[in-house]
Structure formats: C-alpha cells, structure tokens
Amino acid sequence: MVNYRDLELKPNVYAAICPSREVLALVGEKWVSLVIGALDGKTMRFGELRRICEGISQKMLTQTLRKLERDGLVSRTLYADVLPIKTEYRLTELGRSLLPIVQAAKLWAEENLHQIEENRVLYDKNNQ
C-alpha cells in the first residue's frame, strides 16, 4: 500500500492524483454533515441520531458512522455490560475541527436556498 505521504508531495486538491480530493468530497456526502452537526457538543446514541437525521435509514446511518469512525472523526463507545446494549457516538478532536466548516456550509445552504431557487427559475425561463 502506497501512502500519499511517501511521495513527499504537498497535498493539493487540484492535483489529479491527490487523495485530498476524496477528503473534500467527504463533506458533501449525503449524511456526513448532518451527523457531524448533530454531534456538536454532545454524545449521541444510534437511535437519537436516527431520529434527528430525518429520512436516514439504519443502513446509511451505520455506514456513515463507520466511515467517520474509520477516518477518526467520530469515536464509538459500546456499553455491552449495561443492558439494553448501548452505543455512544461523539466527535473526536479531528471531528470537532471540521465543525466550523460543516456549520458554515449548513448555514449557507439554509440562508441562500431561496435565492438559488429563484435563480434557477429565471435561468430556465431564459433558456427555454
């Protein structure tokens, strides 16, 4: 397995082979921003996250959480001794460092949605 670091190149999203592009794409995955935003400042259980992210399926929540755990953005603690079994998810330091970006993107989307919808109507009218 070749690590990008071994090439001793500075990561650059514009470079065709740079894996930082994939990291950039992470933010845009359907449920990633919502899950990270939901974990802002608090630990959450699987079921809580599921209720908050309206429309997410069990499969996608598990998949999203595993991916974030693998990347080190989220940590998972399993309480198997206490029954019923309980898992707690929280942001790691790395995960928290992504919070400002996720929250800014979320806010931008909410604030500019109407303008964008109007732009689309106008564009479609002018281009048949």
- Footprint of DNA (CB under 7 A): 29-31, 45-47, 55-60, 62, 65-66, 76, 78, 83-87
- Work out how close the CB of 114 gets to a copy of itself at its nearest, in angstroms, rounded to a whole number: 5
46, 48, 50, 69: residue in contact with a copy of itself (rule CB under 8 A): 69
Phi, psi of 76 (to 5 degrees): -120, 125
User: What residue type is assigned to position 62 of the chain?
Assistant: T
Other beta carbons within 10 angstroms of residue 16's beta carbon come to: 6
Beta strand 74-79 pairing with 44-45: unpaired
- Tell me the two tokens of residue 42: 């608090």
User: What residue type is assigned to position 58 of the chain?
Assistant: Q
Nearer to a copy of itself, 5 or 59 (CB): 5
List the interface residues with a copy of itself, window 21-50 (CB under 8 A). 21, 23-30, 33-34, 37-38
15, 42, 47, 85: residue in contact with a copy of itself (rule CB under 8 A): 15
Round to whole Å and give the CA distance between 22 and 93.
20
Residues facing residue 90 across a β-bridge: 75
What track of x and - describes contact with a copy of itself for positions 73 through 112 (by CB under 8 A)? ---------------------x--xx-xx--xxx-xxxxx
